[in-house]
Amino acid sequence: MILNNLKAVILYNELSANAGPDESDILDQVNVVADGLNSLGIEYALLEFSLNLQKVQENLVELKPDFVFNLVESVNNKGNLIYLAPALLNSLSIPYTGGTLETIFLTSSKVLTKQLLHKANLPTPLWFQGNGDFVTKQGRKYIVKPIWEDGSLDIDENCVFDTSNGELKSLIKTLNFNTHFVEEYIDGREFNISILAGPKGPQVLPPAEITFENYAPFKPKVVGYKAKWIETSYEYQHTHRTFDFPDDDSSLINRLQDICIECWKTFNVNGYARVDFRVDNEGNPYVLEINVNPCISPDSGFYAACQKASIPFNEAISRIIGDIPKFKP
């Protein structure tokens, strides 16, 4: 594929005044993409995306890019507005990388994702969003999650409840099910598996497991906000990514990889994605969520998976661009 002599725009979300590490991480991703475009001989401009859609539109029309590398993760620091970026690009008929408007909207809602997974007979934990009576299973735990937010925002061990007391049932009476839902907590192993478009279709990259080292038996194993972003926290310092697995895990790994391909097809994903799993103590996998346009900063799981697969990141950038729907460079 000949990519030089093209003009691109790297589109990313405008940062709020007091941006936290989860939000400001976007600047690292911008730098990674810029380096990749430079190595591919692609001219580019940087453009912030904000709620001022008229201004963004005018800038895009003036810049006249051949395509946009869409890095928008939120708008006004709200995950439920992420669809505005691909919607605007669609309205201007500008090709863009990563998930389509439909795919981004569906996967940015954890509940819509779970509904489609269930319909496709793909395993996902049971959930409750306020319809009917909430019936718990004896001995099971449950986690309260935000529907639209990513980056483990608003998730920590305090969101996990067991059935030994009435805390969860009391919370459910006041819970806003437009913003949150309840999911059965799977006590077990956590896997993050990245997928990258390739010349022969989607390539499942080496699987990664997140290990919880020296966690007390009563401490929920949750990759929450502290584990991802607060470097001084116990959770950050005791959760680690590994790509090394014993031979006994081979059948499980194969099963997870097969599910990744089915998720890619079910949600009509293109470019790149990451599927997050929990595996219970009996070895049963459950899809937690599908991350379209996942973080690609140098310390991200996707970047590490490309390194493990010996894929130079400029090649990954090239593959992502090459998988833009109906884009003929």
CATH topology of domain 106-123+187-322: D-amino Acid Aminotransferase; Chain A, domain 1 (3.30.470)
> CATH number of 7-98: 3.10.620.30, 3.40.50.20, 3.40.50.300, 3.30.420.40?
3.40.50.20
Question: Which two tokens mark 109?
Answer: 């809602």
Report in angstroms the alpha-carbon separations of 104 from 112, 152, 207, 298: 11, 17, 23, 23
Please count the residues of the chain. Answer: 329
What pLDDT is stored for residue 270 in this prediction? Answer: 95
DSSP string, 13-45: EPPPTT--HHHHTHHHHHHHHHHHHHHTT-EEE
What is the spatial distance between Cα 32 and Cα 313, in angstroms, rounded to a whole number? Answer: 8
Domain with CATH 3.40.50.20 in the chain: 7-98
What pLDDT is stored for residue 230 in this prediction? Answer: 87
Domain with CATH 3.30.470.20 in the chain: 106-123+187-322
Q: What is the mean pLDDT of each run of 10 residues along the chain (329 residues)?
A: 82 87 90 97 97 98 98 91 96 97 96 97 96 84 88 70 81 90 94 96 97 90 85 91 96 98 97 97 96 96 97 97 85
Question: By the 8 A CB rule, do 155 and 112 touch?
Answer: no
Report in angstroms the alpha-carbon separations of 292 from 196, 222, 272: 11, 21, 7
Q: Write b or e for each residue in 114-148: b if 16 or more Cβ atoms lie within 10 A of its Cβ, otherwise e.
A: bebbeeeebebbebbbeeeeeebeeeebbbbbbbb
List phi, psi (to 5°) of 279.
-125, 120
Report in angstroms the alpha-carbon separations of 42 from 220, 243, 314: 46, 33, 11
What is the spatial distance between Cα 181 and Cα 291, in angstroms, rounded to a whole number? Answer: 18
Q: CB under 8 Å to 174, separation ≥6 — which residues?
A: none
What pLDDT is stored for residue 135 in this prediction? Answer: 82
What is the spatial distance between Cα 80 and Cα 108, in angstroms, rounded to a whole number? Answer: 7
Nearest Cα residue to 272 out of 307, 322, 328, 208: 322
What pLDDT is stored for residue 139 in this prediction? Answer: 82
In DSSP terms, 154 is beta-bridged to: none
What is the spatial distance between Cα 92 and Cα 130, in angstroms, rounded to a whole number? Answer: 38
What pLDDT is stored for residue 46 in this prediction? Answer: 98
Helix, strand, or coil here: 81? helix
Question: Which two tokens mark 127?
Answer: 């959930």
What pLDDT is stored for residue 328 in this prediction? Answer: 67
What pLDDT is stored for residue 277 in this prediction? Answer: 97
What pLDDT is stored for residue 22 in this prediction? Answer: 79
